[in-house]
Amino acid sequence: MKQSTYFFILILFLAYSKAYTNSPLLFSADHVNLNQDIVKLFYSNGEIQIDGLTGVGSIQIYSIIGNEISRFNSESLENFKKYISLDSGSMYIVRIETKTTVKTYKLIAN
């Protein structure tokens, strides 16, 4: 009887601590970024378009399994538009690198 009580208390402790640690904080500076830029990626009719970025950078497009599909080096990121052939309905990873940051985005080709 004593062993089953300890086991029950252990299960309750593990369940409570797991639920507690996975719950997000409501007002944490880590979860709220008011200065976040909005970047939009579009692919339609064989053309990729990226809005919301400025400056010069390089853009790499990868298949979901990591194969490089295309690369654009030293491109102006403002009003970026390029024609590229992507398979409709497939997901791609777009990596955008500037002097100060590297960001990755998911893109589903239409």
- pLDDT 10s digits, 13-24: 555 544 444 444
> Which domains does the chain show, CATH number per domain?
2-108 (2.60.40.1270)
Residue among 77, 38, 37, 83 at smallest CA distance from 58: 77
Per-residue pLDDT tens for 56-102?
999 999 999 999 999 999 888 888 999 999 998 899 999 999 888 88
CB 92 within 8 A of CB 107: yes
The pLDDT score that the predictor gives to residue 96 is: 92
Question: What are the distances in angstroms from CA 34 to CA 29, 30, 31, 71, 72?
Answer: 10, 11, 10, 31, 30
